[in-house]
Structures are given as C-alpha cells and as structure tokens.
Amino acid sequence: MNDRKLLDRVTRVREFNRLYTGVIGVLDEGLVGTEYSLSEARVLYELEQQGVTEVTELRRRLAMDAGYASRLLGKLEGRGLLTRERSDTDARRQLVRLTEAGRAAQHSLEERTIEQIGELLGRFTDEDQHRLLSSMAAITTVVGERARDSAVVLRPPRPGDFGWVVQRNGALYAQEYGWDATYEALVARIVADYVDKHDPKREAAWIAEVDGERAGCVFCVRGSDEHTAKLRLLIVEPSARGHGLGKRLVAECVAFAKAHGYQGMELWTNSVLVAARAIYAKTGFELVASEPHHSFGHDLVGETWRLEW
C-alpha cells in the first residue's frame, strides 16, 4: 500500500472515530446523570450481565491494568456496590460479587441504556436502522475482540470428561455463588445416571473446547415425558465467556432434541443465574414456574423454563 492510499484510509478512520465518539458522548450523558462513570457502569455490567466473578477475568474483559482496576473496584466497594474476597480454593485468585445495592444500580443503568439507545435508533427509519446494524456487525466481525485463530469445537464426551463436568460444576458454583458440596453431589448423580442409562437415540452431551482446552458443556436427556427433552448442566468457563459459547451449546442441545423426535424442551435453573437465564430467554425458552427453596447452603428461587416447537 502506498503512502497516499494509507493516509487516505487513516483519515477516513479518524473521521469515523470523531463521529462515533460524539454519538457515544450523547449516550454517556445519561450515565453521568446517574452518578456512575462509564468505567464504573462497565464493571457493573460485566459482573451482573456476563456473570464475571474473577478480578483477572474482569481486567481482561475491560482491558484494565491492575492498578486502575484495584482503585475502581475499591471505589465501588466503598460505596457498598460490591464485595471482594480471596478464593477458598486458591488464595491467589480474588473474587468479586455485586451486593444487592450493586445489582439494583446495574438494573437501573441497564434500563437507562436501553431507553437512550432506543431513542437514538428512533431517529432513523427502519431501513436505516438495518443498514446501521449491518455496518456495526461488519465492524465487529473484522475488529472484534475474539481472536480469529481460536478454534472452537463441540464434541461428544470422552473418558475423563465426565469427571471434569462434576469437578468444574462444583468448583465454579462454589466460587461464583458460594454453593456448598451438596450441589457437586447432585451433579455427580446426574452424570452417573447419564452414563449408566444413556440412550444414544434420545440423549446426548457435548464438551466445548477452545484451542484444545475444555471450556464448557451441556447435556440433553429425557424430560418429564416421552415428548419432552431436558437441558442440564450448562456451564462455560470464565475465560471463554462473552463470545457466544453458551448460546452455541444451548442451540446444539435444542437442535438435537428437534432432530430426535421431541416436541419441546424443559430445564430447571435458579433465578441467581442471570447470564444463563438470558441465554435461555434469547433461545426462546419461557419461564413457566418458580418456587423458593433452600438448597446448596442458600435460600434460592428455582425456575422451570420450557421451549415448544
């Protein structure tokens, strides 16, 4: 590329940056009115919407250096919006969780953001909105944060994978939600039943790998009746979150159920699992029942979700 062509392209990128920075500035004004900076709002979003709980993962997501992240988290902690603690299983790892006040603040920010972006889109015709969103999708594809050379594979379980499913479920839910060993025992029973009674014509499981490393899983088993499948044990490793892997695992599970004669799918989850619930809702599942219960060392609200086709 000659110097003149490069300079022309650099100029066009800078023009776009100035325009888009102005648009973002308009949106940020709404955040200023809520007393939270953009950086603070991004932290609250990652902790609530994306289910991030490890400080190192939060720093990676937001491209923050250790010093700045520590100051920012300390400020939010001082305002009672989050808590920080060392992992019980690894003292080198620091975990961070939103308090009730933090979740309320994030929900308020989310509502304001949706309202303001809706107002921005409302300036354009439906056709122009589609053009805008298509252009954004193109930019995301070309310069998005996901590394192009990351190889994502969904495969059937192999020997050793079932033990990994039990171990990672137990460890992740203990670290992120403080659940006790009774949850790991439940997972062990579910996995043992699957291995002992597996019907390959009606049941399946998938292990997700990213660059050859196990990064998630999901199971499709028989549900409450012969016409209904059941989704179980969906997890995604913190390092693999934010790239649609959970959505892909759920879609694979649903596709299997449709192809093998089921007429619908059900699942049981808990209201605190915000990120997973968002995936289910976007896939088309609907919440059909909820009930409080005390399990895994906590007072929880269990939920039944269903998808019909």
pLDDT of residue 65: 79
**pTM (2 decimals)?**
0.55
Inform me whether the pLDDT recorded for 34 exceeds 90.
no
Inform me whether the pLDDT recorded for 37 exceeds 90.
no
Q: Are residues 87 and 211 in the same domain?
A: no
Pair of tokens at residue 34 = 């809520």
Pair of tokens at residue 101 = 């006040």
Q: Are residues 12 and 126 in the same domain?
A: yes
Contact 71, 63 (CB under 8 A): no
Q: Are residues 165 and 256 in the same domain?
A: yes
Instruction: State the residue range of the domain holding 40.
Output: 3-143
Q: Are residues 135 and 172 in the same domain?
A: no
Q: Are residues 128 and 252 in the same domain?
A: no
Inform me whether the pLDDT recorded for 132 exceeds 50.
yes
Domain end residue (candidates: 122, 143, 164): 143
Q: Are residues 118 and 157 in the same domain?
A: no
Domain end residue (candidates: 94, 122, 143): 143
Q: Are residues 213 and 280 in the same domain?
A: yes
Inform me whether the pLDDT recorded for 102 exceeds 60.
yes
Inform me whether the pLDDT recorded for 27 exceeds 70.
no
Inform me whether the pLDDT recorded for 25 exceeds 70.
no
| Residue range 170-215, pLDDT digits in tens | 999 998 999 999 999 999 999 999 999 999 889 999 999 987 889 9
The domain spanning residue 215 has which CATH number?
A: 3.40.630.30
Domains identified in the chain, total number: 2
**How many CA atoms lie less than 13 Å away from 134 in the CB half-sphere?**
6
First to last CA, the chain: 53
Q: How far is CA 119 from the centre of its chain?
A: 26
Inform me whether the pLDDT recorded for 147 exceeds 60.
no
Identify the band that residue 42 occupies on the pLDDT scale cut at 50, 70 and 90: confident
Q: Are residues 52 and 168 in the same domain?
A: no
Q: Are residues 296 and 169 in the same domain?
A: yes
Domain end residue (candidates: 143, 173, 208): 143
Q: Are residues 60 and 127 in the same domain?
A: yes
Q: Are residues 231 and 88 in the same domain?
A: no
Residues 31-52, mean pLDDT to the nearest whole number: 75
Inform me whether the pLDDT recorded for 77 exceeds 70.
yes
DSSP codes, the chain:
--HHHHHHHHHHHHHHHHHHHHHHHHHHHHHHTTT--HHHHHHHHHHHTS---BHHHHHHHHT--HHHHHHHHHHHHHTTSEEEEE-SS-TT-EEEEE-HHHHHHHHHHHHHHHHHHHHHHTTS-HHHHHHHHHHHHHHHHHH-SS-TT--EEEE---TTHHHHHHHHHHHHHHHHH---HHHHHHHHHHHHHHHHH--TTT-EEEEEEETTEEEEEEEEEE-SSTTEEEEEEEEE-GGGTTSSHHHHHHHHHHHHHHHTT-SEEEEEEETT-HHHHHHHHHHT-EEEEEEEEEETTEEEEEEEEEEE-
Question: Could you tell me whether strands 94-98 and 152-155 are parallel, antiparallel, or unpaired per DSSP bridges?
Answer: unpaired
Q: Are residues 83 and 192 in the same domain?
A: no
The domain spanning residue 10 has which CATH number?
A: 1.10.10.10
Pair of tokens at residue 216 = 């998630």
